[in-house]
Amino acid sequence: MEKRVTKILDRYRVTKGRGFRLKDYDPGDTAALEMEKTAAEALLQQGVVRLAEMQDKLYAQDRWSVLCIFQAMDAAGKDGAIRHVFSGVNPQGCQVHSFKAPGPIELDHDFLWRHSVALPERGRIGIHNRSWYEEVLVLRVHPELLARQRLPPSLIGKKIWDERLEDIAAYERYLARQGTVVLKFFLNVSREEQKKRFLSRIEEPEKNWKFSPNDVAERAHWDDYMKAYQTAISATAAPHAPWFVVPADAKWFTRLVVVAAIIEALEKLDLHYPAVTKEQSAALAVAKKSLG
């Protein structure tokens, strides 16, 4: 990945909550990278190739795992970012989970359960399209949904959201200590750009399937969601589980930032192919001789 891309990651990386303000992050920012679409696509492809190389070593070494969490408002481009960034990786070393509203079985467990059973194995990259953060985003904006979880009434107090954020932060610390690299991406789309994308989904027949009337209903709660995101990011940003507040108005730039962040994290792991022991070398020599 080009240095000019990796150098800009600090603009969007959040590793501590103190002083964080979501309004300080411009959804339309492109870090002064002026390039044509073809140049952006070529740069992204370089990143995709490098990511594939690193993922192969991650899989072979079988020590670390990587969990990439994607959160965003509707139409921010999560699906497209996931599709493009991971287009070159070996499917055997990648696990993708898209989380919708929890069902009956999931609601009979704690809120982290369904995500825990979907964590990536060692040597693999896990991609969670929405995550445990929905519990402090959607439910915070729509607290009436909390009743579906059938929690004991004595446990539902004014501090329940702070308590859940504490639980999430502690869980991510635990995962880091177990060898899971946690990377969290908030695709920061502007309200104006979201409107354009909604209209595109309505006006272009081939995109009609992407649109849901509920998308517009949720848009009415925009300010509440922004407050919820700011609180969640502030409470859970840490060096071992950083947030990346990624500008999402320009899709090409969103994808460059995401792939650069993942590559940077992988390069810090000292990944390498397993060394061959003397016994294995001897076995290889015997196998070669028998094939000759």
Please report which confidence band the pLDDT of residue 1 belongs to, taking 50, 70 and 90 as the band edges: low
22-26, 89-93, 105-109, 212-216, range with the lowest pLDDT: 212-216
Please report which confidence band the pLDDT of residue 207 belongs to, taking 50, 70 and 90 as the band edges: confident
Please report which confidence band the pLDDT of residue 2 belongs to, taking 50, 70 and 90 as the band edges: low
Please say if the pLDDT value at position 234 is more than 80: yes
Domain 3-291's class?
alpha beta
Question: Tokens 């989970």 identify what position?
Answer: 97
CA distances from 210 to 75, 206, 215, 275, 282 (A): 9, 9, 10, 48, 57
The predicted pLDDT at position 101 comes to: 92
Provide mean pLDDT across the span 7-33.
93
Provide mean pLDDT across the span 54-58.
96
User: Which range has highest mean pLDDT (80-89, 93-102, 165-174, 275-284)?
Assistant: 165-174
Provide mean pLDDT across the span 61-81.
97
Element (H, E) at 129: strand 125-129
DSSP 3-state of 65:
strand
The predicted pLDDT at position 129 comes to: 97
User: Which range has highest mean pLDDT (6-20, 79-93, 178-192)?
Assistant: 178-192
183 against 91, higher pLDDT: 183
Give the phi and the psi of residue 46 in degrees, each rounded to 5: -60, -45
Mean pLDDT estimate for the chain:
93
Could you tell me the residue ranges of all domains in the chain? 3-291
Cα separation, 139 vs 24, whole angstroms: 25
Please report which confidence band the pLDDT of residue 76 belongs to, taking 50, 70 and 90 as the band edges: very high
Please say if the pLDDT value at position 291 is more than 80: yes
Please report which confidence band the pLDDT of residue 24 belongs to, taking 50, 70 and 90 as the band edges: very high
Provide mean pLDDT across the span 223-252.
98
39 against 67, higher pLDDT: 67
The predicted pLDDT at position 219 comes to: 94
Q: In what order do the strands lie in the sheet with 13-14?
A: 13-14, 243-247, 180-188, 65-72, 125-129, 94-98
Provide mean pLDDT across the span 67-95.
94
Q: Note the Cα 32 to chain centre separation in Å.
A: 24
- At position 53, the amino acid (one-letter code) is E
| Per-residue burial over 255-266, b = 16 or more CB atoms within 10 Å of its CB, e = otherwise | bbbbbbbbbebb
